[in-house]
Amino acid sequence: MPLDFVLPFLRDLAANNNKAWMDAHRADYQRARAEYTGFVAELLRGATQLESALTGIKPQDVMFRINKNDRFQQSDEPYKRHMGAGIKRGGRHSPWAGFFVAVQPGGETYIGAGRWLPEPAQLARVRQEIHYNPEAFHAMRQESELLRYFPAGLDMTQTLKTAPKGYDRADPDVEWLRLKSFFVWQPVPDAEVLRPDFPTHVLAAWRAALPLVHFLNEAMAAD
């Protein structure tokens, strides 16, 4: 499903981010949303082949609303500048690790996977799994196929200043134990987003990140 209409619509929305403009262009929004929904449906069909736990999930279960959540607004703009989806078991707001894609013009589109800021109990289980099984963790995060699609590796922007409670600051894996998110992502230029094979590229990246998703979900499900 090409995204020929989504990118220009979002570009116009960024320049006119107010309710009056959106009301006057509601038909354009519906057209862009329908196009994005078709794109997500195509991704879901492929992702279900990667992860059987996604069986039965529909686009409306994973697509985020374009309206901003008032609790998290950092500007007066009422609408997000992107269209996004979080494809994971239980839907977009579930606590599990999964796959993400957000389309935004200006080279701001990204493909991602993992778990961003898990709840404290989940985070504790992931850290425990890294501590108990560091060989598997390091093998997973350094896997060549993962780094092919996500060359920066795990995002290191969300981290504690020191070792988490219960862990030694001298632990050889303290750099990883300090992480508050376990997520990989890669920006995508507009020209690639508009290519007919963009969904294939997204699914290939998600396939490469599948061991990360499994590692996190297995750790978070542990007692």
Residue 206 included in any domain: yes
The CATH number covering residue 151 comes to 3.30.930
The Cα–Cα gap between 217 and 141 comes to 15
pLDDT value of residue 33: 97
Residue 139 included in any domain: yes
Instruction: Identify whether the C-beta of residue 109 lies closer than 8 Å to the C-beta of residue 193.
Output: yes
Average of pLDDT values for 187-215?
Answer: 97
Query: 73 is in which domain, residue-wise?
Result: 6-221
Average of pLDDT values for 73-83?
Answer: 86
One-letter amino acid of 41? A
pLDDT value of residue 220: 95
The Cα–Cα gap between 118 and 108 comes to 24
From 215, 212, 220, 218, select the one nearest 121 (Cα to Cα).
Answer: 220
The string of pLDDT tens digits covering residues 14-62 is 999 999 999 999 999 999 999 999 999 999 999 999 999 999 999 999 9
Handedness of CA 202, 117, 103, 107 (dihedral sign): negative
pLDDT value of residue 74: 64
Confidence at 65, pLDDT banded by 50, 70, 90: very high
Structure tokens at 15: 């320049």
Query: Other C-beta atoms within 10 Å of 132: how many?
Result: 11
Residue 33 included in any domain: yes
DSSP state of 170: T
Residue 97 included in any domain: yes
Residue 1 included in any domain: no
Does the pLDDT value for residue 69 go beyond 80? Answer: no
How many degrees, rounded to 5, is the angle at CA 94 between CA 204 and CA 141?
Answer: 40
Q: How many domains in the chain? A: 1
pLDDT value of residue 138: 98
Residue 171 included in any domain: yes
Q: The whole model's pTM is what?
A: 0.93
Burial annotation 173-197 (CB, 10 A radius, 16+ → b, else e) = ebebbbbebbbbbeebebeebeeee
Average of pLDDT values for 168-193?
Answer: 97
Residue 12 included in any domain: yes
